[in-house]
Structure 1
Amino acid sequence: RNIVIVGASFAGYRVAQVIAGGLPPRSPYRVVVVEPNSHFHFTWVLPRFCVVKGHEHKAFIPYGGYMAGAPEGSYRWVKDKVVDIDQATVKLQDSGEAIPYEFLVVATGSGVREGLPSRVNATDKLDGMKLLQRMQNRIEAAKTVVVVGGGAAGVEVATDAKALYPEKHIVLIHSRAAVMHRFGQGLQKAAREGLERLGVELVLQDRVVNEDATSGTVTLRSGRTITCDFFMNCTGQRPLSDVLSNLSPDSISPSGHIKIKPTLQIADDSLPNVYACGDVADTDTPNPNARSAMRQATVVAENILLAVAGKTPSHIYKNLWADGVIKLTLG
């Protein structure tokens, strides 16, 4: 009797650990984790490792250690990708296997089309390291680097590049009036001062409308054209909820997040055994991060443990002020 968890980043990995460790002895239930990546991607370090050489291997952490305390036979780990879900099974991409489930957790997170510096679009550690090394070499060889997006990834990669290569022209473009606009004014001010102190050119309230790789230019909405050797897009993260679209299309919000109840069951009364947590879930968390994802994961795990014991899921998730805290490096 399977409890299937789709995705094993901060949220999914935590769900697996809590449930596998919380099932009673000789339980008929088993955790099945389906994750396409060979290693855990430690996303916090990616912006820096796009710039600084020699550390890229540290971004990929072997799976398994976090589950060391789980009883033998309490879980199965499947390296594959879920491509479809119905009311009884999840279908895998590579093996074609259909895994039956009694409970399902969607913890697929968020992604970006371009990948780095926010995500690594590679499922294998070696391939991921090569992508980071390629980024490092591109930045090292460039004279002018344009970074688009003034969130954490954009601010960190711009300041790291300028700190390591002070002779380079680093331009950070952000469409809002302040970088780190989702956070408080104190952090916004500190980030701006850090950028200016290093000599990063900051372009606010403007956006790129055209990128010409042939001429090496980007054109802004204001009409300004910037010539650069390397262009980095740090915008456009989107929740990876497509996997649920056939089973429960009405549970996917216009933003692409999965609508959930306070118990983190999806907002579909016909599917009380399906949960969502992490970046993919519509929890109204102002600044989704690993801290909030792991708290959500604990709620999901505790509710499933109640359900397998024949009890009503009663744990609810509430946002905390600490979910909006971030550790931001500025060079």
Structure 2
Amino acid sequence: MISTLKNVVVVGGSYVGLAAVKELVNILPATHRPRFSVIPSHEHKAFIPYTAAFSTASDPSRHSVVRAKVLSLFPDRIVLDRDWQGTKEVPYDYVVITTGTRLPAPGTMEHEDKASSIQGAHKIVIVGGGAVGVKWRRT
């Protein structure tokens, strides 16, 4: 068993971030493990299940989804907004940035949760069916 695994950090929980992780788990050597960063309690917004992110890996237990926000990026580590495994800093050998974009209103929800965003709306329109289109629109 390898005593010290090296991290490959994927920042961003979008479709692209998840796709990057799924590709990485199949090609990384046994000395490296992907770490996938997602803001806690926001997983539902993207409608992307993270439970199978490492399902194709030969050893899924050595990889993990980190539910935190990246506050700072340095050449050798990231700094998180909360502790993860006893520290806010995660060292890495490689980093993949897949943070995507943030659309202006009405392209995003007004509040952090769906219920608050649609309260009081008289009409709700769902536009598109892709990763960006599957969002609540308040009209």
Query: Fold-level match, TM-score > 0.5?
Result: yes
RMSD of aligned Cα (Å): 2.8
Alpha carbons 2:15, 2:48 under 8 Å: kept:
no
Gaps of 5+ in 1: 43-59, 141-155, 161-288, 291-325, 327-331
User: Residues 2 and 30 of structure 1 are in contact (CA less than 8 Å); yes or no, is this contact kept in structure 2?
Assistant: yes
Report how far residue 130 of structure 1 moved.
1.4
Change (3 A) 1:66 1:76: closer
Aligned position for 1:86: 74
Work out the CA distance in 1 between the residues paired with 2:17 and 2:73.
17
Higher strand share: 2
Alignment of 1:157-176 (within 5 A): 157=125
Pair 1:41 & 2:45 matched: yes
Q: Secondary structure at the match of 1:21?
A: helix
1:221-245 residue CA offsets vs partner (Å, 9 max, x unmatched)? xxxxxxxxxxxxxxxxxxxxxxxxx
Residue 118 of structure 1 pairs with residue 118 of structure 2: no
Match for residue 7 of structure 1?
A: 12
Name the CA distance, whole Å, in 2 between partners of 1:121 and 1:91: 27
Tell me the CA shift for residue 4 of structure 1. 0.3
Q: Report deviation, 1:75.
A: 1.4
Which structure has more relative contact order (CA 8 Å, sep 6+)? It is 2
Report the counterpart of residue 68 of structure 1 in structure 2. Answer: 55
Alignment length (residue pairs): 119
Quick one: percent identity of the two aligned structures? Answer: 23
- Structure (1/2) with the larger helix percentage: 1
Structure of larger gyration radius: 1
Q: Please give the TM-score of this superposition, normalised by the length of structure 2.
A: 0.69
TM-score with structure 1 length normalisation?
0.32
Of 27, 36, 47, the residue aligned with 1:22 is 27
The letter for the 2-side match of 1:111 is R
Deviant stretches of 4+, over 3 Å: none
State the alpha-carbon separation in 2 of the partners of residues 8 and 121 from structure 1: 20
Deviations 1:307-328 (A, max 9, x none): xxxxxxxxxxxxxxxxxxx9xx
**1:40–1:63 Cα contact (<8 Å) kept:** no
Kept in 1, the 8 Å contact 2:69–2:80? The answer is: yes
Shift in CA distance, 66/100, structure 1 to aligned 2, threshold 3 Å: closer
